[in-house]
């Protein structure tokens, strides 16, 4: 099954609470990615909070996005 994000909430300090279409949910840290030029604008909390869902992928207005598969592999799972 193709991994997709079905819901998310931006949290503090560059973290995202995500829910995937396979039922898993967890917290994903964008902070390490913000060291690169491509993701550096996400350091601005106002810009970070402008994230939106596009075809199951979390994206930002300047074209940044992160693969749901990457998020699944690196997120900290939430327990029930």
pLDDT tens, per residue, the chain with 80 residues: 799 999 999 999 999 999 999 999 999 999 999 999 999 999 999 999 999 999 999 999 999 999 999 999 999 998 65
User: What's the pTM value of the predicted model, to 2 decimals?
Assistant: 0.92
Cβ atoms < 10 Å from Cβ of 70: 12
Number of domains within the chain: 1
Contact 71, 4 (CB under 8 A): no
In 3D space, the residue among 68, 73, 70 whose CA is nearest the CA of residue 20 turns out to be 68
CATH number (domain holding residue 32): 3.30.2020.10
Query: What range defines the domain where residue 11 resides?
Result: 5-77
Quick one: which H or E segment has residue 59? strand 57-59
According to DSSP, residue 37 is labeled T
């Amino acid at each position: 099954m193709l991994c997709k994000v079905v819901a998310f909430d931006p949290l503090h300090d560059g973290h995202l609470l995500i829910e995937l279409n396979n039922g898993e949910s967890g917290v994903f840290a964008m902070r390490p990615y913000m060291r690169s030029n491509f993701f550096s604008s996400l350091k601005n909390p106002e810009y970070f909070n402008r994230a939106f869902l596009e075809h199951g992928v979390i994206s930002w207005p300047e074209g940044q996005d992160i693969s749901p598969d990457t998020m699944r592999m690196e997120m900290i799972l939430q327990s029930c």
